[in-house]
Amino acid sequence: MVEKKKVDVVRIELVKEREVSFEDYDIEKLRVSKPEYAVKLVSTLFENSDREKVYVCALDTNKKPINISLVSMGGMNQCVIHIPEIFKAAILANCPNIIVFHNHVSGNIKPSNEDKVITSRLEEAGEILQIKLQDHIIVGKAGQFFSFKREGLIYGKEKVAIVSSDL
């Protein structure tokens, strides 16, 4: 008798760990419409951190925060980012938008070349997955932050149009 191979049938779900309160938003719509609002949403997650962390906030179509997930924790000056991990919670929650946050333990909010490269790769992956990278924010100390979107380093559809017009 030939033994049949078996494949597990699994269920993947998001599990709520805790809640983060947020304020100073457009109370009518609860939208994260400015980088300042986004930073206030996650600031307590980076308090007193002695290592780099990467969080992702999944947003619905109206840019309302649905969940925040820790996707990576590194050392004092670097953190490994795996692209699939960045999008996992947004996919599971059916969210079409994300904001990526990471901190620099030194407090220096200037993006490294690696930060710029990963932002570009996240943008490209998001286009394929149809999940828009709304911003990538580096969180420093005392409320300081660097917004890739505000500084013009996230392009969205304009970047696609530029690339396709060169073909």
Q: Percentages helix, strand, coil for the chain, rounded to the nearest 5?
A: 30, 20, 50
The whole-number average pLDDT for the span 95-101 is 97
- The Cα–Cα gap between 89 and 112 comes to 26
pLDDT of residue 26: 53
Question: For domain 35-165, is the CATH number 3.40.140.10?
Answer: yes
Write down the pLDDT at residue 157.
53
Question: What's the rounded Cα separation, in Å, for the pair 112 and 24?
Answer: 30
Q: What's the rounded Cα separation, in Å, for the pair 88 and 85? A: 5
- pLDDT band for position 14 (cuts 50, 70, 90): confident
* 44-78 residue pLDDT tens: 999 889 999 999 999 999 999 999 999 999 988 88
CA gap 160, 157 in Å, rounded: 5
For the chain, give every domain's residue range.
35-165
Per-residue pLDDT at 1:
78
User: Residues 143-164: what's their mean pLDDT?
Assistant: 74
User: Would you tell me the crossing angle of helices 83-92 and 113-129 to the nearest 10 degrees?
Assistant: 40
Helix, strand or coil, per DSSP, at residue 126: helix
Give the pLDDT score at 12.
Answer: 78
Between the two ends of the chain, the Cα-to-Cα distance in Å is 59
pLDDT at 167: 42
Can you give the pLDDT at residue 32? 83
